[in-house]
């Protein structure tokens, strides 16, 4: 996507280079929490119902590692081409906050589950490559609800520990991104990848996929990095884009004025359209990390890692390339059709059922996508289903119905389902493609529209439309229109 309007941030980037690195926290779609047996699906429970002594941090309890969470993190790390060291351990990150029941978060400090990965994606015409510093595993906190605005001025605060202990994967990106657009595309691709491999549901609003950014500016000539600012509170792709643009603009103005950037944490305030200082460096936490004594270190043997690698699905970029090679699609269509794993699977199932590759692509990206969106119902789960669509498109491909009929049937059957072939027979929707029958209708159309016929003969191509409509209406929309077109031209050229 290219930026059309010249924003102040874009203008600032002519003087300064922005250096952006993103940290993503993604909740894992495991059955249970990271260190106890409570459900990891916490959102539907009444406050503090989805808890146990372990995730409430009661005295005397101990954590037990969720193996599925380890596997999902390794899965992610492999999808991001990371190295998986043989040795890994958990550490305690110590700080006080009411939503952190133990007074420390079990996280990973110096020996993460994986390091040194990468992700590549297109932005505009160029390919952006962003390094992945590390992917590690930790536990989520509870949530706070304040009677009032924020904790500091609240008259009462409530804590809900339903989310406490949900497995949380932290993906730290290298500071390889240079624009807000890069950052947004990085997140779009990362989210797509996590959803593709089935480890995260990608919900930014509900916070199952969260993002913080580190951003600094430096003059175009400078080699060393500028002072970085951490930006938080961005809960949509749009917010990330706007927050980073605003921050680039703010930092550029500070630098332009000859002042220096303060190292600090700033929060994006959607309603004000700008970032606001939250915490300066002097108040930075000393987390006093040390190895978690309640959990022995883990040794991930290569057999385990290889088993996880073998279980990885084909990832979006590779799948899109294959769609181009195997199905003759253009790059854009291939990219759209592989944007989610479900869409790509649907497409390939349709083709396997005998629908022509290009036909399947056009219908899925066009009418089917519109209906899926309208009804909030994917084809796979719709009444018609993938098999129903393949039968419908089969009727079209074999010229037993025409395009408009196919479209009407699709709309009618999408939700409620039904056998397209039976309906075509029952209602006599079969395409009229008998030449003799159509020739008679063509003659009748010319006779009924002498002016249009004369106009066409006089070189006015558009006049043909009126004649074609006449035939179409005469067959109740069932005429083979390409054939009608040919017959009309033949007749009028005599």
Partner 1 sequence: MSSTASTITALAASLRDGSSSPRELLAQTLAHIDATNTRTHAYLRTTRELAERQADAAARTLRANPESAPPMCGIPVALKDVLCVDGVETTASSRVLGGFTPPYTGTAVQRLFDAGAVCVGKTNCDEFAMGSSNENSAFGPVGNPWDVERVPGGSSGGSAASVAAGDVPCALGSDTGGSIRQPASLCGVVGFKPTYGRVSRYGLIAFASSLDQIGPFARSVEDAAIVYSTIAGHDPRDSTSDPRAVDDPLLRLRDGVAGMRLGVPKEYFGMGIDPGVREAVEAALRVLEGLGATLHHVSLPSTEVGLSTYYIIAPAECSSNLARYDGVRFGLRVEHPALIDMYLRTRDQGFGPEVKRRVMLGTYALSSGYYDAYYRKAQKVRTLIADEFTRVFADVDALVSPTSPTAAFPMGDRDDPISMYMCDVVTLPVNLAGLPGISVPCGFAGGLPVGLQVIAPRFEDSRVFRVAHAYEQATEWHRARSPLAEAAA
Q: Give the footprint of partner 1 on this chain (CB under 8 A).
A: 53, 56-65, 92, 94, 96, 98, 101-104, 151, 159, 286, 288-290, 293-296
Least Å distance, CB 292 to partner 1, is 8
As measured in angstroms, the least distance from the Cβ of 225 to partner 1 is 21
State which residue, 5 or 147, has the beta carbon closest to partner 1.
147
Q: Compare residues 141 and 200 and give the one whose CB is closer to partner 1.
A: 141
Smallest gap from Cβ 343 to partner 1, in A, equals 41
State the CB neighbour count (10 A cutoff) for residue 14. Answer: 10
Name the minimum Å distance from CB 75 to partner 1. Answer: 22
Beta carbon of residue 97, minimum distance to partner 1 (angstroms, whole number)? 9
Dihedral (CA of 250, 252, 258, 260) sign: positive
Whether 387 contacts 380, CB under 8 Å? no
Q: Which residues are CB-neighbours of 212 under 8 A, at least 6 positions away?
A: 22, 23, 25, 230, 231, 232, 234
**CB environment 103-116: b (16+ within 10 A), e (fewer):** ebbbbbbebbbbbe
CB-wise, 295 or 423, nearer to partner 1?
A: 295
The residue among 291 and 477 lying less far from partner 1, judged by its C-beta, is 291
Q: How far is the CB of 158 from partner 1 (least distance, A)?
A: 11
Shortest spacing between CB 23 and partner 1, in angstroms: 20
Q: Give the nearer residue to partner 1 in terms of CB position, either 109 or 304.
A: 109
The alpha-carbon radius of gyration of the chain (Å, integer) is: 30
| Nearest residue to 362 (alpha-carbon basis) of 392, 337, 340 | 337
Cβ-based nearer residue to partner 1, 71 or 247:
71
Bridge partners, 169 (sequence order): 26, 137
Nearer to partner 1, 101 or 226 (CB): 101
Contacts of 326 (CB under 8 A, 6+ apart): none
Nearest distance, CB of residue 98 and partner 1, angstroms: 5
Smallest separation (angstroms) from partner 1 to the CB of 149: 15
Distances (CA, A) of 276 to 229, 256, 258, 264, 432: 11, 20, 21, 10, 68
In the complex with partner 1, the residue whose CB is nearer, 205 or 301, is 301
240, 183 in Cβ contact below 8 A? Answer: yes
Closer CB to partner 1, 152 or 257, in the complex: 152
Nearest approach in angstroms of CB 104 to partner 1 is 5
Distance, CA of 191 to CA of 234 (rounded, Å): 15
Nearer to partner 1, 61 or 423 (CB): 61
- Check the CA dihedral 128-132-138-141 and report its sign: negative
Between 142 and 316, whose beta carbon lies closer to partner 1? 142
Which is nearer to partner 1, 148 or 366 (by Cβ)?
A: 148
Cα–Cα distance between 31 and 50 in angstroms, integer?
Answer: 13
Q: How far is the CB of 182 from partner 1 (least distance, A)?
A: 32
CB of 106 to partner 1, least distance (A): 11
Count CA within 13 A, CB hemisphere, residue 235: 10
Tokens of 33: 């929490």
């Amino acid at each position: 996507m290219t930026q059309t309007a010249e924003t102040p941030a874009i203008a600032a980037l002519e003087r300064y280079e922005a250096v952006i690195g993103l940290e993503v926290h993604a909740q894992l779609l495991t059955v249970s929490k990271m260190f106890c047996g409570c459900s990891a699906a916490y959102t539907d429970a009444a406050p503090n119902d989805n808890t146990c002594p372990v995730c409430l941090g009661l005295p005397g309890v101990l954590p037990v590692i969720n193996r599925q969470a380890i596997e999902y993190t390794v899965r992610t790390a492999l999808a991001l081409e990371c190295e998986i060291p043989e040795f890994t351990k958990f550490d305690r990150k110590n700080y006080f906050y009411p939503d952190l029941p133990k007074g420390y978060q079990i996280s990973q400090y110096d020996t993460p589950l994986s390091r040194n990965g990468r992700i590549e994606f297109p932005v505009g015409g160029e390919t952006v490559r962003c390094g992945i510093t590390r992917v590690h595993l930790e536990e989520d906190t509870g949530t706070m609800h304040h009677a009032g605005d924020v904790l500091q001025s609240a008259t009462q605060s409530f804590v809900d520990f339903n989310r406490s202990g949900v497995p949380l994967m932290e993906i730290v990106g290298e500071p390889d991104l240079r624009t807000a657009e890069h950052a947004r595309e990085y997140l779009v691709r990362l989210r797509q990848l996590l959803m593709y491999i089935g480890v995260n549901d990608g919900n930014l609003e509900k916070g199952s996929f969260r993002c913080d950014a580190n951003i600094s500016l430096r003059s175009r000539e400078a080699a060393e990095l500028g002072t970085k600012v951490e930006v938080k509170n961005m809960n949509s792709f749009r917010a990330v884009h706007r927050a980073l643009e605003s921050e680039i603009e703010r930092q550029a103005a500070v630098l332009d004025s000859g002042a220096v950037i303060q190292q600090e944490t700033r929060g994006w305030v959607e309603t004000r359209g700008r970032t606001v200082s939250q915490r300066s460096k002097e108040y930075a936490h000393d987390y006093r990390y040390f190895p978690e004594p309640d959990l022995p270190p883990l040794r991930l043997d290569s057999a385990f890692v290889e088993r996880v690698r073998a279980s990885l699905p084909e990832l979006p970029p590779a799948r899109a390339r294959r769609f181009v090679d195997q199905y003759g699609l253009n790059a854009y269509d291939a990219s759209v059709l592989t944007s989610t794993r479900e869409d790509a699977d649907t497409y390939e199932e349709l083709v396997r059922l005998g629908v022509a590759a290009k036909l399947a692509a056009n219908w899925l990206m066009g009418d089917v996508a519109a209906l899926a969106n309208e009804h909030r119902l994917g084809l796979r789960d719709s009444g018609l289903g993938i098999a129903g669509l393949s039968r419908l498109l089969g009727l079209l491909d074999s010229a037993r119905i025409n395009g408009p009929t196919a479209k009407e049937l699709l709309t009618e059957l999408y939700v409620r389902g039904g056998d397209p072939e039976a309906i075509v027979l029952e209602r006599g929707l079969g395409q009229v493609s008998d030449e003799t029958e159509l020739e008679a209708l063509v003659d009748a159309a010319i006779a009924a529209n002498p002016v249009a016929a004369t106009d066409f003969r006089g070189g006015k191509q558009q006049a043909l439309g009126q004649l074609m409509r006449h035939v179409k209406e005469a067959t109740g929309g069932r005429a083979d229109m390409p054939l009608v077109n040919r017959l009309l031209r033949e007749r009028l050229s005599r």
